[in-house]
Amino acid sequence: MRAYFKLNFEILYWVLIAPFLGKPFKITSVLHEMINIGVQAIPMASLTAFSIGLTLAMQGAHELAHLGATSYTPNLVIVTLLRELGPLLIGTVVIGRSGSAVTAELGTMKVSEEILALQVMAINPVRFLVVPRFLAMLIMLPVLTVFGNYVGMLGGWSICHFALDMNTTAYITRLIDNAQPMDLYSGVIKSFVFAWLIITISCQAGLEVEGGAEGVGKSTTNSVVTSILAMLIANALLTGFFFFFE
C-alpha cells in the first residue's frame, strides 16, 4: 500500500514538476501508448457497448411493455449508458485488454532485469515506462467511454427501430431531450477516476513482480482482480456522490 502511494507521488512528480526542471517525458511514447491502450481497443469496446445498448433496449422494452410505455425505452437506454454502464463496461474492457498487458509487460521487464538495466543507465523507470502509460490511459479511457456511449446508443436504436418500429428521428429527439449534460459529465468523471485507478494498480503490480514467469502470472491476476474491485468501489462511491450533489 505504501509502495502504491509512493508510485502515485512519483508519477505526479514526473508529470507535473520534472518537465519544468528540464527532465521531460517523451510525447512520442505517450502517443504510442495511446494507440495501444485506446485506438486498438476500439473494436472490443464497440462490440461491448453495442451489445449493452442492444440488450438494455431489449430488456427495457420488454418490461416497459407491461406498462404500455415502450416509447420510454430510449430514456432508459441513454441514462443507464451515460451514467453507469458505459464507464463501467468500457473500464472492464480496458482492464482486461490493457491493464493486464501493462502488468505482464512491466513484470516481464522486471524479471528479465530490463528495469534494473534502465536504472543503471540512470533512466528512471517511472518516467520512462510508467508516465507514458499513465497519461495515455488518463486520456484514452474517457475518450473510449464517450465513444462507447455513442455506439451503445446505436445498439439501442437497432432494437427501437427494428423491433419497436420507432422512427429514427423520434429516437434521437428522445435521447437529446432526456440526457442532461450532468449525465455525461458524471460518466466522464467516473471514467477518469477509473483510468487513474486501473493504470496505477497495473503499473504497481508490474513493478513489484518477483520470481520469474509464475510471479508475472500471479501479479497479472492480482492486478486485474484489484483493478475491478477498486473500480466497483469507486463507482459506488461516485454514484452516491453525484446523487448527493445534484
SS3 state of residue 23? coil
Of residues 24 and 240, the one with the C-beta less far from other proteins: 24
- ∠ CA 51-56-62, nearest 5°, is 125
Between 124 and 235, CB nearer to other proteins: 124
Cα–Cα distance for residue pair 16/198, rounded to 1 Å: 20
CB of 105 to other proteins, least distance (A): 8
Tell the smallest beta-carbon distance from residue 196 to other proteins (Å): 24
Specify the DSSP element, H or E, that contains 169. helix 168-178
Name which of 3 and 233 has its Cβ closer to other proteins.
Answer: 3
- Please, which residue, 16 or 122, has the CB nearer to other proteins? 122
Nearer to other proteins, 105 or 183 (CB): 105
Question: Taking the complex as a whole, how short is the minimal distance between the CB of residue 44 and other proteins, in angstroms?
Answer: 22
Residue 65 or 117 having the CB closest to other proteins:
117
- Extract the C-alpha cell encoding 62: 420488454
Let me know: does 153 contact 49? Beta carbons within 8 Å.
Answer: no
**Looking only at Cα atoms, what is the longest distance across the chain?**
70
87 with 235: CB under 8 angstroms? yes
3-state secondary structure of 121: coil
Gap between the Cα atoms of 204 and 220, Å rounded: 11
- Residue ranges that bind other proteins, judged by CB under 8 A: 108-109, 112-114, 116-124, 128
Residue placing its CB nearer to other proteins in the complex, 67 or 120: 120
- In angstroms, give the least distance from the CB of 108 to other proteins: 8
What is d(CA 66, CA 47) in angstroms, rounded to the nearest whole number?
A: 29
Question: How many alpha carbons lie under 13 Å from residue 183 in its C-beta half-sphere?
Answer: 19
The CB-of-26 to other proteins minimum distance in angstroms stands at 9
Closest approach, Cβ 194 to other proteins, in A, equals 26
Give the SS3 label for residue 181.
helix
Residue closest to 184 by CA, chosen among 86, 38, 90, 95:
86
Smallest gap from residue 97 Cβ to other proteins (A): 18
